[in-house]
Chain A
């Protein structure tokens, strides 16, 4: 993070305050937390570098929110610790942790105007009235809501309320910014705008940020690194492109993006027979997530853009659906053996593929991921 000092200098300009030297690093060490019989967190460890935005992604109930709440100080971990800049903060109450938080539900104080909401944290820090008004004003300006400063929360739209909440969280110049699904209550368009705004601000201020979401698009587009969680454990934490291209486990592979599962047969020598051809197997460091299996039946995982599709008489599949997505069209194909796959084609080429057309589906010969064959359901 060599650009960190530069970012903090930008902070200083933006809100007229001296920059705090360097960013803040956060370390979650071996956190466990059980609610009754359910283990919400099961030995979770994450390291967040200064100025980094890490997203925690996972299905609901995977423990991501619990992790965030433990960092914020609203929950206690059963075991494990949270270290901020190397210091254990487990015994520090939430009010003294210096963490800005944006909540999923609207959390503005209804009795205060937008400006007073933003200034609240500064007021709690005993900063004089003039100074805090100025700083709150600057922050509202930064989120583009200066004209609404005098308005009360009920007069603001959902997106505006979350922007005020963001300004309020940033006003205290938090050491760590915590975002708990801040966009999930908003409609699609506003969500997209706010997503960019949060990311831009976060990069400009260089605030270390932990972001919890169940929306993979959000996580992949905003975060420096994305941690995929499942049942209280971290499955993989990596940069978005790595997560997409080199998933460490079958769960990650299928949770992030769309994945086709096609039965194949391992032939040894790192080759797998699938769809009437033979292609090399890949995996992190040459190892496939399938484990040590060398031969036998497996499932091959391929992205929709990784399959080729041609119109062919007596091909191995029949087009069932066609979904126009803009520049590409996603074509659903039924293969023999009751296997459904989805294939992305450029929309101009896909025009000829009407449902019912006979097509031939094949793999272009790129290395593919394999996982143990899933037992056939039903």
Chain B
């Protein structure tokens, strides 16, 4: 899209920001109203909803990564050297988007792990929903679970960050930290 249809970018940016603008409650109620019965209360529906919800963050992170590259020149250089579309994507573009993709993953994971509204209204018990339900009955368990969740999430994000940084330090890209993520977010606007 950056290469072929730069004009469509604005439109797409607009579309991808919609899930942020629309409150999750509205989104889930609407989805539940039109979703076919067999898919309700399944993890599949929730996954689809999360895709929509995570899109703005993921899009922005990747968009920032693409802008940092001189995509046109790099793609042309690659094809003049005899690489087809797939090789160019796999060997040239994706490796250079590593940092951006990791940012997208970090954001998405962080968001999905903490999401409550949609899951609870979808009657699917994700971890946050489970904590909430349990806090009604036994406070101690839910506090323990919350702390555990915090810790696990933190470890997970740290692992992604360390992995990403090791690679990008080699190629001169920025470090993947939540700070980079935030920076790429603002740069993307």
Which A residues are closer than 8 A to B by beta carbons? 72-74, 93-101, 103, 105-111, 120-121, 124-125, 152-155, 165, 168-169, 172, 178
One of A72, A107, A125, A155 near B82 (C-beta < 8 A): A125
Known: A152-B172, A155-B172. A100 touches B95 (CB 8 A): no
Q: What is the bound-complex CA distance between A169 and B81, given in angstroms?
A: 7
Q: Can you sample 30 A-B contacts with CB below 8 Å?
A: A73-B79, A74-B76, A93-B79, A94-B79, A95-B79, A95-B80, A95-B81, A95-B82, A101-B76, A101-B77, A101-B80, A103-B73, A103-B77, A107-B70, A107-B73, A109-B77, A109-B92, A110-B96, A110-B172, A110-B173, A111-B96, A111-B171, A120-B83, A124-B83, A125-B82, A154-B171, A154-B172, A155-B172, A168-B77, A169-B81
Q: What is the bound-complex CA distance between A322 and B38, given in angstroms?
A: 89
Contact between B76 and A124 (Cβ–Cβ < 8 Å)? no
Q: How many chain B residues touch the partner (CB < 8 A)? A: 23
B172 to chain A, nearest CB (A): 3
One of A111, A152, A154, A168 near B81 (C-beta < 8 A): A168
B168 to chain A, nearest CB (A): 9
Residue of A nearest to B168 (CB): A111
Residue of B nearest to A171 (CB): B81
Contact between A105 and B73 (Cβ–Cβ < 8 Å)? yes
A92 to chain B, nearest CB (A): 12
CB neighbours of B79 from chain A (8 A): 73, 93-95
Known: A120-B81, A154-B171. A111 touches B76 (CB 8 A): no
Q: What is the bound-complex CA distance between A40 and B62, given in angstroms?
A: 34
B100 to chain A, nearest CB (A): 12
Residue of B nearest to A97 (CB): B80
CB neighbours of A168 from chain B (8 A): 77, 81
Closest 8 CB pairs of A and B: A154-B172, A121-B81, A111-B95, A124-B82, A107-B77, A101-B80, A107-B73, A95-B79
Contact between A107 and B74 (Cβ–Cβ < 8 Å)? yes
Total inter-chain residue pairs, C-beta < 8 Å: 79
Residue of B nearest to A120 (CB): B81
Contact between A96 and B82 (Cβ–Cβ < 8 Å)? yes
Contact between A121 and B96 (Cβ–Cβ < 8 Å)? no
One of B69, B91, B171 near A152 (C-beta < 8 A): B171
Contact of B87 with A by CB under 8 A: yes
CB neighbours of A108 from chain B (8 A): 77
Residue of B nearest to A155 (CB): B172
One of B87, B98, B171 near A124 (C-beta < 8 A): B87
Q: Which of B93-128 contact A (CB under 8 A)?
A: 95-96, 98
Contact between A105 and B76 (Cβ–Cβ < 8 Å)? no
Contact between B172 and A94 (Cβ–Cβ < 8 Å)? no
Q: What is the bound-complex CA distance between A93 and B74, given in angstroms?
A: 16
CB neighbours of B84 from chain A (8 A): 95
The interface bits of chain B over 121-156 (1 if a CB of A lies within 8 angstroms of the residue's CB, else 0) are: 000000000000000000000000000000000000
Contact between B172 and A153 (Cβ–Cβ < 8 Å)? yes
CB neighbours of A98 from chain B (8 A): 82
Contact between B82 and A106 (Cβ–Cβ < 8 Å)? no
Q: What is the bound-complex CA distance between A172 and B79, given in angstroms?
A: 12
Known: A120-B83, A124-B87. A109 touches B173 (CB 8 A): no
Contact of B78 with A by CB under 8 A: yes
Q: Which of B47-70 contact A (CB under 8 A)?
A: 69-70
Contact of B7 with A by CB under 8 A: no
A103 to chain B, nearest CB (A): 5
CB neighbours of B80 from chain A (8 A): 72-73, 94-95, 97, 99-101, 169, 178
Q: What is the bound-complex CA distance between A155 and B170, given in angstroms?
A: 10
Q: What is the bound-complex CA distance between A178 and B77, given in angstroms?
A: 11
One of A99, A109, A172 near B96 (C-beta < 8 A): A109
The interface bits of chain B over 153-189 (1 if a CB of A lies within 8 angstroms of the residue's CB, else 0) are: 0000000000000000011110000000000000000
Residue of A nearest to B69 (CB): A110
Q: What is the bound-complex CA distance between A154 and B70, given in angstroms?
A: 14
A121 to chain B, nearest CB (A): 4
Q: What is the bound-complex CA distance between A110 and B171, given in angstroms?
A: 6
Q: What is the bound-complex CA distance between A173 and B172, given in angstroms?
A: 30
Contact between B171 and A94 (Cβ–Cβ < 8 Å)? no
Contact between B172 and A109 (Cβ–Cβ < 8 Å)? no
Q: What is the bound-complex CA distance between A99 and B132, given in angstroms?
A: 63
CB neighbours of B171 from chain A (8 A): 110-111, 152, 154
